[in-house]
């Protein structure tokens, strides 16, 4: 994981950005454990912003980053205290001393003291950097703190003059990846490549979608990942035309395609890769026609990634090339300009081409700056993922194409020279895919 110096440097950078706007206090709640059913919790995963600045992988509490107008940073942590009885059941805690010694807190207090101490930390701050609307319980807690400060106005107390989303600072930092973050993304990509090949080998006629999912997620963990970075999609047959379908009990059948959208998470950074393979080991002619169209367009989309380009331009390129292909294959009629203008291409391609990638699968960072598409710069990581989805009940489509969904997705780093495909090791050429799928 990142060293303490890495987190300290991130906090200094955040404080410097806050100082440019007069300083203030940034409040970042840690993630809470959430019940799955009865008294069993979901697997805990730390809030990405909290982890980015602190690195503590424990639930409850919050981080308070105080930035002076000069850019000096002070970290205050509210954490669970050491408790021998609870640690026997649920594992060790950093505690108050650990928060200081291991995680660089200048001050640390028990979670139970948050409500009593937050008002003092926020009092007089020029700006409170807090994500309103993200968590109703935290919104209510903050409302109580602000009410307390307003009630003390005659005693000289003053609440923050403004509340600003911390994403204006943190998400801009997170958008451009540092070398150590790229190391994690490359490792996540390496793990994910093996998982997708395992899916192609295992996804034979008679297997169920959730069995293929098990092979994928086993590969994630076997190679040192923490598991999937998002819900694994294994969609066989007509399920491949459902964008966010999750692996279920459906059987993979000879003659169908299987669409797998799965990314392994490594030290809180995730890959995001989609591949589509023939269950029988060979594409039918109709499937191959759709696949080769999608693959050709995807390659063109990747080639368009470079400094100064933007995601809207890449998407427009993909839409045009796909639409031309839809017309060539008989899915649409008329000219590409007409079908783009009336948006009828969306019948077969209804989502965007790219999103940011990093700690979150749909990672943070603005897509538009001053109302214009954001220009790509080195260090950004994005997906390129065109798709073609022909519904099973689409009577206007050639019969042999109905119920076929194709998506091909890679993770692309913007470099000073152009781009690097981080997930190039995952097979996607027709011959490569069929070779892995050999039955």
What pLDDT, on the 0 to 100 scale, is given for residue 186?
Answer: 98
Q: What DSSP letter does each residue of 199-263 carry, written as one string? A: HHHH--TT-BHHHHHHHHHHHHHHTT--EESSPPEEEEGGGGGSTT----SPBP-TT-EEEEEE-
The answer to whether residue 202 is catalytic is no
Q: For residue range 166-220, what is the model confidence (pLDDT) as tens digits?
A: 999 999 999 999 999 999 999 999 999 999 999 999 999 999 999 999 999 999 9
Q: Computed from CA positions of residues 17, 21, 27, 30, in that sequence, does the dihedral angle turn out positive or negative?
A: negative
What pLDDT, on the 0 to 100 scale, is given for residue 61?
Answer: 98
Check 385, 410, 411, 434 and give the catalytic one.
385
Q: How far apart are the first and last CA of the chain?
A: 40
Check 174, 275, 407, 419 and give the catalytic one.
407
What is the DSSP code (8-state) at residue 29?
A: E
Q: For residue range 324-365, what is the model confidence (pLDDT) as tens digits?
A: 999 999 999 999 999 999 999 999 999 999 999 999 999 999
What pLDDT, on the 0 to 100 scale, is given for residue 367?
Answer: 98
20-24, 163-167, 269-273: segment of lowest average pLDDT: 20-24
Contact residues for 81 (Cβ-Cβ < 8 A; gap 6+): 93, 95, 96, 110, 111
pTM listed for this prediction: 0.96
Between the CA of residue 70 and those of 13, 77, 127, 329, what are the distances in Å?
A: 12, 22, 14, 62
**Strand-pair partners of 413:** 381, 420
The answer to whether residue 39 is catalytic is yes
**What mean pLDDT do residues 93-122 have?**
97
Check 20, 92, 150, 362 and give the catalytic one.
362
The answer to whether residue 180 is catalytic is no
Phi, psi of 63, rounded to the nearest 5 degrees: -115, 135
The answer to whether residue 385 is catalytic is yes
The answer to whether residue 389 is catalytic is yes
CA dist., res. 310 & res. 377, Å (int): 9
**What mean pLDDT do residues 223-243 have?**
97
Asked if the model's pLDDT at residue 39 lies above 70, the reply is yes
CA dist., res. 11 & res. 71, Å (int): 10
4 pLDDT tier (thresholds 50, 70, 90) = confident
Between the CA of residue 131 and those of 12, 166, 360, what are the distances in Å?
A: 20, 6, 17
The answer to whether residue 244 is catalytic is yes
Check 261, 360, 410, 434 and give the catalytic one.
261
What is the DSSP code (8-state) at residue 356?
A: B
Check 181, 215, 272, 410 and give the catalytic one.
272
Q: Are 129 and 18 in contact (CB under 8 A)?
A: yes
Asked if the model's pLDDT at residue 1 lies above 60, the reply is no
The answer to whether residue 41 is catalytic is no
Mean predicted lDDT score pLDDT of the chain:
97
CB atoms within 10 A of CB 54: 27
CA dist., res. 403 & res. 405, Å (int): 7
The answer to whether residue 208 is catalytic is no
Asked if the model's pLDDT at residue 319 lies above 60, the reply is yes
Q: What DSSP letter does each residue of 290-346 carry, written as one string? A: HHHHHHHHHHHHHHT-STT--HHHHHHHHHHHHHHHHHHTTSS-S-HHHHHHTTGGG
CA dist., res. 245 & res. 239, Å (int): 7
402 pLDDT tier (thresholds 50, 70, 90) = very high
Asked if the model's pLDDT at residue 3 lies above 80, the reply is no
Asked if the model's pLDDT at residue 400 lies above 90, the reply is yes
User: In angstroms, how far is CA 220 from the centroid of its own chain?
Assistant: 16
Residue 69 three-state SS: coil
Q: Are 115 and 150 in contact (CB under 8 A)?
A: no
The answer to whether residue 419 is catalytic is no
What pLDDT, on the 0 to 100 scale, is given for residue 298?
Answer: 99
Asked if the model's pLDDT at residue 25 lies above 60, the reply is yes
Starting at the earlier edge strand, list the strands of the sheet with 269-270. 227-228, 264-266, 269-270
Pairing state between β 127-129 and 162-164: parallel
Check 161, 168, 244, 346 and give the catalytic one.
244
Q: For residue range 112-162, what is the model confidence (pLDDT) as tens digits?
A: 999 999 999 999 999 999 999 999 999 999 999 999 999 998 889 999 999
Q: Are 366 and 374 in contact (CB under 8 A)?
A: yes
What pLDDT, on the 0 to 100 scale, is given for residue 436?
Answer: 98
User: In angstroms, how far is CA 334 from the centroid of its own chain?
Assistant: 38
Check 51, 93, 355, 419 and give the catalytic one.
355
71 pLDDT tier (thresholds 50, 70, 90) = confident
**What mean pLDDT do residues 397-425 have?**
98
């Amino acid at each position: 994981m990142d060293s303490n110096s890495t987190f300290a440097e991130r906090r200094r950078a955040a404080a410097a950005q806050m100082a440019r706007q007069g300083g203030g206090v940034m409040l970042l709640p840690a993630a809470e454990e959430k019940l799955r059913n009865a008294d069993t919790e979901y697997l805990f995963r730390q809030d990405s912003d909290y982890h980015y600045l602190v690195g503590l992988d424990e639930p409850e509490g919050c981080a308070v980053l105080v930035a002076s107008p000069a850019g000096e940073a002070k970290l205050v942590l509210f954490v669970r205290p050491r408790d021998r009885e609870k640690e026997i059941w649920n594992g060790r805690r950093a505690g108050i001393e650990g928060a200081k010694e291991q995680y660089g807190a200048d001050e640390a207090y028990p979670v139970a003291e948050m409500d009593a101490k937050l008002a003092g930390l926020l009092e007089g701050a020029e700006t409170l950097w807090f994500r309103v609307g993200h968590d109703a319980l935290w919104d209510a807690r903050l409302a109580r703190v602000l009410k307390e400060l307003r009630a003390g106005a005659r005693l000289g107390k003053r609440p923050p003059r403004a509340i600003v989303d911390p994403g204006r600072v943190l998400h801009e930092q997170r958008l451009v990846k540092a070398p150590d973050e790229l190391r994690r993304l490359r490792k996540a990509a390496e793990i994910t490549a093996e998982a997708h090949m395992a899916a192609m080998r295992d996804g034979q006629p008679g297997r169920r979608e959730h069995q293929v999912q098990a092979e994928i997620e086993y590969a994630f963990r076997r190679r040192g990942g923490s598991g999937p970075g998002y819900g694994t999609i294994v969609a066989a047959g007509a399920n491949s035309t459902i964008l966010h379908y999750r692996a279920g009990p459906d059987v993979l059948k000879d003659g169908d395609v299987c669409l797998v959208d799965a990314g392994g998470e490594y030290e809180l950074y995730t890959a995001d890769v989609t591949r589509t393979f023939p269950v029988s080991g060979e594409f039918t002619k109709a499937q191959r026609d759709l696949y080769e169209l999608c693959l050709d367009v995807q390659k063109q989309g990747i080639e368009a990634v470079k400094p100064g380009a933007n995601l809207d331009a890449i998407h427009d390129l993909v839409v045009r090339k796909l639409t031309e292909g839809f017309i060539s294959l008989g899915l649409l009629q008329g000219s590409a300009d007409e079908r783009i203008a009336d948006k009828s291409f969306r019948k077969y391609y209804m989502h965007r081409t790219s999103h940011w990638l990093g700690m979150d699968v749909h990672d943070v960072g603005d897509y538009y700056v001053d109302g214009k598409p954001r220009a790509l710069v080195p260090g950004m990581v994005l997906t390129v993922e065109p798709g073609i989805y022909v519904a099973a009940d689409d009577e206007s489509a050639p019969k042999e194409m109905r119920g076929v969904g194709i998506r091909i997705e890679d993770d692309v780093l913007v470099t000073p020279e152009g781009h690097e495909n981080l997930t190039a090791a995952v097979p996607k050429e027709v011959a490569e895919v069929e070779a892995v799928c050999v039955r």
